[in-house]
Amino acid sequence: MAREYQVLVCDDDPEVCAAMRRTLHRYGVTTVGSTAEALTELRVRPYHAVLSDFDLSTASDGLELLQIVRLLYPETVRFLITGDPDLNVAIRAVNEGSVHRFFRKPWDPEQLVATMELQIRTRRADTAEVAP
């Protein structure tokens, strides 16, 4: 059942992308390395969730990507992950409503999968209730 869920992972580190693929193996996972690639991918097909690293080696950071996703694809669940110890990133992400959950690197695989499953199911149920 979970394989039907499509997850877009945005991280500029190929090793992190590979680790995310292993963690999220029960989902259909697509990985990209930049905000521009993520936005292109989102135009190609719908995703149930977008998980982005905060620190991308591009002009914009992962929080900016998730803010755009929130505006253009409000039904998509958004996760931010970072190795940055600065809690201001998490506070900003939550206060701006850009993310559903925030994770620190290294992540707990079981917690990440359980949280993603819960958030996607809850979001799908919420959007089904408001559909005509």
Residues of the domain holding 99: 2-130
pLDDT at residue 4 in the model: 83
Q: What is the CATH number of the domain that holds 29?
A: 3.40.50.2300
**pLDDT of 57 above 80:** no
Task: Fill in the DSSP letter of residue 9.
Answer: E
pLDDT at residue 60 in the model: 77
In 2-108, alpha helices (H): 14-23, 35-44, 62-72, 87-95
Residue with more model confidence, 93 or 70: 70
Q: Percent of the chain at pLDDT above 90?
A: 65
User: Please, which pLDDT band fits residue 2 given cuts at 50, 70 and 90?
Assistant: low
Q: Which residue, 41, 19, 45, is CA-closest to 107?
A: 19
Q: Which residue, 79, 1, 74, 8, is CA-closest to 39?
A: 8
Mean of pLDDT values over 112-121: 94
Q: In whole numbers, what is the pLDDT of the chain averaged over residues?
A: 89
The mean-pLDDT minimum among 12-21, 39-48, 50-59 falls in 50-59
Which residues have a Cβ under 8 Å from the Cβ of 92 and sit 6 or more positions away?
Answer: 63
The count of domains in the chain is: 1
List the structure tokens of 60. 């914009």
